[in-house]
Amino acid sequence: MLVTIYTDGSARGNPDGPGGYGTVLQFVDSAGTLHERELSCGYVRTTNNRMELMAAIAGLEALNRPCQIELYSDSQYLVNAFSQHWIDGWQKKGWKRSGNEPVKNVDLWKRLLAAMEPHEVHFHWVKGHAGHPGNERCDQLATAAADGTKLLVDPGV
């Protein structure tokens, strides 16, 4: 099954302000009917990069069987980690970057890798705030979640 996932993260006062993510999942069934699901959540204190990762994680964790995924994000941090194989190097170095600095957000990178495991995931970068309908909707969901009243605590911050 082919699933398209659009993602976006938002943080007000980045870093350490309230933030949220928005995710839109879409697939077309065998009858040609489009099915769509929207996910979002807000956090009291977080960063934009953490919310970008959480958007992808939420979309992948919402799936209940292995799928082929086309995942679209305006986060170069997320997309380049896979397209430029940063994640492979980080893992080989024990989650260290160049200069032996620790990789940020390791908790979420590990969670993302686990969520990706049953799927075939292809990452695509889209320019943010450029009129892409999926990205624009995710931005609306993410900012509304960040501005919401039922905010969770991000344990990684």
- Per the annotation, binding residues for Mg(2+) are 8, 52, 74, 139
* Known catalytic membership, residue 38: no
- Give me 23's structure tokens: 């995710």
| Catalytic residue list contains 139 | yes
Q: Are 51 and 59 spatial neighbours (Cβ–Cβ below 8 Å)? A: no
Catalytic residue chosen out of the listed positions 22, 59, 139, 154: 139
DSSP annotation of 16 reads S
Query: Does the annotation mark 88 as catalytic?
Result: no
The catalytic position among 19, 22, 74, 134 is 74
Catalytic choice (9, 20, 22, 42): 9
65 secondary structure, DSSP code: S
Q: Is 154 a catalytic residue?
A: no
- Examine the residue annotation and report whether 70 is marked as an active-site residue of this protein: no
Q: Look up residue 3 and give its two tokens.
A: 């699933």
Catalytic pick among 19, 20, 42, 52: 52
Phi, psi of 66 (to 5 degrees): -60, 135
How many of the other CB atoms lie within 10 Å of CB of 113? Answer: 13
Q: Could you tell me which residues are annotated as the binding site?
A: 8, 52, 74, 139
Which residues does the annotation mark as catalytic?
Answer: 8-9, 52, 74, 129, 139
